[in-house]
Amino acid sequence: MKKDVPALFLENQLCFPLYAASRFTTKMYTPYLNILGITYPQYLVMLTLWQYDQQSVKEIGQRLFLESNTLTPLLKRLEQKELIRRTRSPLDERTVLISLTNAGIEMKENAQEIPDKILASFNEESITKDEFEAFQKTLFKLVDALNRKITIQEKDE
Amino acid sequence: MKKDVPALFLENQLCFPLYAASRFTTKMYTPYLNILGITYPQYLVMLTLWQYDQQSVKEIGQRLFLESNTLTPLLKRLEQKELIRRTRSPLDERTVLISLTNAGIEMKENAQEIPDKILASFNEESITKDEFEAFQKTLFKLVDALNRKITIQEKDE
DNA sequence: AGTGATTAAATCGTTTGCGACATAAAGGTA
DNA sequence: TACCTTTATGTCGCAAACGATTTAATCACT
């Protein structure tokens, strides 16, 4: 006597909304990022560089949960835009160190206003501050839990 | 005297976790979907067909917030796998009606267990039921709000 | 020093996601 | 009916994601 629709409906209620919300938020950023001439994933890489300065591809990957197969081409595009530099580490020739160019550093100024504008467009929404903070908190826990699960999953193979 | 890091850090706290959570959840499904031989977006399309039966590309797009430029190729792949049929509507030759084949209908049985397994793997997590439900609720509101914003944004152009 | 395992990037192929545009059918109006 | 607009798909090109594999450097251990 298993219920039929509910299961396939219910699951829709976590994974799919996350997928939709993620795509929507990316879209919210797009007009602002177009002005800077970068994409959303490229913006995430710039964020890590603005925050933590020079670091290896590996480290960027650990922060964004991405690997070299995604990052290498993306970083090459940022290099072409002359926002970053890619240099082999003299200490370990395997690692590629990513650092900001002057143009990359300067872009931070113009990027500064983006979070404000995104947040501002939510001011009139029916989501209270408490609700928002609780949401954030659970979201963090979720990302953390998922990250652990995925890591286990990968180890199994 | 603007604070520098916080803004670019704070914004990191909504858009990026959503992006990460979405990618992680997709990854959680992958091993189960591999058995069925479909991808996660293809699974979402199958879900709408299992739930609402025959419908147009447009309708599927409205449910998943996707457009024909994404759906058409994806649907052709599902057609190649003989899970769906694509037929022009006789009433309106512009619309393409998507319906399930027998194989597509049968796959529902095997897909049934997936949500359970995903949920089960969260049982031991430190997220309470109340917390989870509050999270879901806010997530829905967020998707709704974002959807409205995006629609306005697109109208502006 | 020599050699097998590990590690960091990179490459390759496939599928998405999406902006911009094309095509063809249907609707609306003079 | 002729013509203009709207609508539903589809095509194209680019940029992610990501599994699988490759390459080259470093490590670990004898």
- Residue A45 in 3-state DSSP? helix
Digit-coded pLDDT (tens) for A98-154:
999 999 999 999 999 998 888 877 766 677 778 888 888 889 989 999 999 888 777
B4, pLDDT greater than 50: no
Digit-coded pLDDT (tens) for A1-11:
434 445 565 56
pTM: 0.92
Using a CB–CB cutoff of 8 Å, tell me whether A19 touches chain B.
yes
Question: What separation, in Å, do the N-terminal and C-terminal C-alpha atoms of chain A show?
Answer: 35
Q: What is the pLDDT of residue A155?
A: 66
Distances (CA, A) of A90 to A4, A68, A82, A98, B127: 60, 20, 22, 13, 45
Band (B98; pLDDT cuts 50, 70, 90): very high
Those residues whose beta carbons lie under 7 A from strand C are: A 19, 23, 26-27, 30, 56-58, 61, 67-69, 71-73, 75, 86, 92, 94-97; B 38-39, 41-42, 65-67, 69-70, 73-74, 77, 91-94, 157
Band (A79; pLDDT cuts 50, 70, 90): very high
A44, pLDDT greater than 70: yes
Who's near A128: CB < 8 A, 6+ residues apart?
none
The arithmetic mean of pLDDT across residues B46-71, rounded, is 97
Band (B64; pLDDT cuts 50, 70, 90): very high
Q: What is the pLDDT of residue A3?
A: 41
The arithmetic mean of pLDDT across residues B78-98, rounded, is 97
Nearest-neighbour CA in chain A from B37: distance (Å): 18
Are B115 and A7 contacting, i.e. CB atoms less than 8 angstroms apart? yes
CA atoms of B94 and A115, how far apart (whole Å):
42
Q: What is the pLDDT of residue B99?
A: 98
The arithmetic mean of pLDDT across residues B82-104, rounded, is 97
The arithmetic mean of pLDDT across residues B135-155, rounded, is 86
Are A142 and B14 contacting, i.e. CB atoms less than 8 angstroms apart? no
DSSP state of A53: -
A97, pLDDT greater than 50: yes
Q: What residues of chain B lie within 8 A of the CB of A25, using their CB?
A: 14-15, 18-19, 146
The arithmetic mean of pLDDT across residues B30-44, rounded, is 97
